[in-house]
A = this chain, B = another copy of it.
């Protein structure tokens, strides 16, 4: 069954790759319309998922993610229309060069091919992932969480029918209906049929994919993001940025989880910091030196430094110098997003160079690590690995470059 899906994906791959931009946009618009048109059926399927999930005792936060509404379906449709409005990444030729022997060698942007996406019980990912993969000329095979199976299947059915009606290859969107673990395991080893696997979801899901996949994985990951306030920082700016990065949205990977403050300003800055964070009920867990200044705060233990709280909690470390700040951050961060607040030119440039993360900031909130904020118009996830793509991934990150070589009879000597 899985192999059959793989064969269908490979058969659809060249068709997807060669679709013209206007055909892809037509497909996206038709899919968007169909989602709205069949919203009653989608909500009905979602209702079945919700009832099953409640019976299985799913937590409220997860139920919220699973639940669809007219608005959410509208949102999915609008997402597809937005992707239709984006520039087609396919076909761009990068850096054509003439070699001494007369060969012209360039790199052409082409789809990755067949993209596998493994995700949890968020039905909106089904439409989002399809839209991005389709616009970038890829075929996608989706494997959603078992809790959302009815919603996902209905959404896939609606989109595929819309594509078919437009005379477009419906097999650009394939869905794995089996939800047992063995199928997922097998899927992660289908190297002949799948070019790249993208896991979207919790740290546990991502870890399982990294551990078990033999297909190249683009790891999207957790964010233990730091903000370093050095001794030259503008305090108002630092407080604004910390407040924003910690509390503007809790529970996202680009939220700030840990502060590093220069000992030269700690005595003056920490009371201001505490006053500011108290307003939002953020608990501070500080090291020994921080607690000497703020005796009322909780003591941070070793595991606090590596923790992605996703909650109204933040850790606080006092350092004596720039080097200590950088080595603390490089030791505990998850290579996601890191920021410095400073007025010092040398600290700013050194921070950008020396901190190892997908995105490094001077004087800005870590919350900007996001495909939309970066101007990509869409996002499939935020890569925290180093190969292929780092940071927010948009349409371009779902493509690869192939060398195209124009000759007139050249042979190698």
Asked if A317 is an interface residue, CB under 8 A from chain B, the answer is no
A119: shortest Cβ distance to chain B, in Å? 19
The copy count of this chain in the complex is 2
Nearest to A245 among chain B residues (CB) is: B411
A365 touching B410 in the complex, CB below 8 Å, given contacts A18-B353, A97-B375, A387-B388: yes
> Is there an interface contact between A386 and B356, defined as CB atoms closer than 8 Å?
no
- Tell me whether A412 is interfacial, beta carbon within 8 Å: yes
When distances are taken between beta carbons in the complex, the residues of chain B under 8 Å from A112 are 386-387
Please tell me the size bucket of the interface on A: 35 or more
Binding-face segment, A54-62, A291-299, A395-403: A395-403
Residue in B17, B368, B375, B405 whose beta carbon sits within 8 Å of that of A410 in the complex: B368
B214–A216 CB distance below 8 A:
no
A409 and B237 within 8 A (CB) = yes
Q: Dominant SS at the A interface? A: mixed
Q: Are B412's CB and A368's CB within 8 A?
A: yes
Contacts of A369 in B (CB 8 A): 403
Given contacts A356-B113, A374-B105, A403-B358, contact A244 B412 (CB under 8 A): yes
Asked if B99 and A375 sit within 8 Å, CB to CB, the answer is yes
- List chain B residues, Cβ under 8 A from A108: 352-353
In the complex, which residue of chain B has the Cβ closest to the Cβ of A403? B359
Most buried by B among A99, A211, A216, A405: A405
A85 contacts B by Cβ under 8 Å: no
Contact B375 A241 (CB under 8 A): no
A165 at the interface (CB under 8 A from B): no
A357 on the B face (CB < 8 A): yes
B402 in contact with A387 (CB, 8 Å): no
8 A-B residue pairs with CB within 8 Å? A18-B353, A99-B373, A211-B214, A216-B216, A216-B385, A359-B404, A359-B405, A373-B412
For the A-B complex with A14-B356, A363-B409 known, give 4 more contacts whose Cβ atoms are closer than 8 Å: A357-B402, A360-B404, A363-B406, A386-B400
